[in-house]
Structure 1
Amino acid sequence: MIHIAPTRDISTCLHLRRVVFIEEQSVPEAEELDDKDAEAIHLLATVDGVPMGSARLLVQGETGKIGRVCVLPAARGTGLGAAVMRAALDELRRQPGVLRAKLGAQTHALGFYERLGFVAEGPVYLDAGIEHRDMVLAL
């Protein structure tokens, strides 16, 4: 059973992010960890009680920024990533005054986010040495 909800268990979310971003994708730890975790809404996705994914939401005026979206390799291709994104969008819709969602997508994942309704905007840029492109969705 999949369960996705806001959590205060930031250490579990950080562990998932470490596995995916730092260990798997070689993102430098100094770039993965920042001072925004304390102000963020963290979503934790579990499958049969086992943590398998997470996302971080930052509210910046009328924009909800979705970031640090990760799913462990064992759960990829199962629909968990899309479920995490739908839960993130639902959570942002509950935030007063938030009118749009924004994220920085790794370019290999553009199609994934487009299928969820996001539209790419602006040029490709490097983030932690990985090509990204901004994407937006009106809420």
Structure 2
Amino acid sequence: MTIQITPTRDIATCRHLRRVVFIEEQGVPEADEIDDKDDAAIHLLATDAGRPVGSARLLLLGQTGKIGRVCVLPSHRGTGLGAALIRAALVELRAQGMTIAKLGSQTHAIGFYERLGFTPAGPEYMDAGIPHRDMTLPL
């Protein structure tokens, strides 16, 4: 694998990856997946030898950076790419002056985010029909 993770303005490619993972694979309604926040967000795109394989979206809200829409194609799961995307997101959020990172984790992925230093916060809730829990990490 030759993985690169870089900021991108190629929202169409990020949306395509999200469509494959969230809409097609997980059954998230398109109306829940596509919103009006993409143009204001920072997008990270992961490529393997130039082929898009993952992405994440960062929203800056005061001093809090919200990491969302994190997706990795099935072919690249279990390779460390998801963790690399989160670490790249944290680097970018620090560079933007954020003091807290926040995300909404699908409950099955809480352990993954805990291993990266995040702590669960607040109760479980449903988002797009999938149980989630907020998680935070001081930067």
Regarding TM over 0.5, the answer is: yes
TM range (shorter): over 0.9
Report the identity percentage: 73
CA-CA distance at 1:20 after TM superposition? 0.2
Alignment-mate amino acid for residue 77 of structure 1: G
The amino acid that maps onto 1:82 is A
**2:17 matched residue in structure 1:** 16
Partners of 1:48 and 1:119 in 2: CA distance: 34
Aligned equivalents of 2:89, 2:6: Cα separation in 1: 9
Query: How far 1:76 sits from its partner (Å)?
Result: 0.2
Question: Root-mean-square deviation (CA), in Å?
Answer: 0.4
Whichever residue aligns with residue 50 of structure 1, its letter is R
Unaligned runs of 5+ in 1: none
Match runs of 1:22-101 below 5 Å: 22-96=23-97, 98-101=98-101
Question: How far 1:133 sits from its partner (Å)?
Answer: 0.1
Q: Which runs of 5+ in 2 are unaligned?
A: none
In the alignment, which residue of structure 1 is the partner of 2:108?
A: 108
One-letter identity of the residue aligned with 1:17: R
1:134 aligns with 2:134: yes
The 2-side partners of 1:136 and 1:91 are apart by 16
Q: What is the Cα deviation at residue 48 of structure 1?
A: 1.2
How much does 1:49 deviate?
A: 1.0
Q: Helix, strand or coil: the match of 1:27?
A: coil
TM-score (ref. length: structure 2): 0.98
Q: How many residues align?
A: 138
SS in 2 for 1:77: coil
Structure 1's consecutive aligned runs of 4 or more residues displaced over 3 angstroms after TM superposition are none
Counterpart residue type for residue 121 of structure 1 = A
Q: Give the TM-score normalised by the residue count of structure 1.
A: 0.98
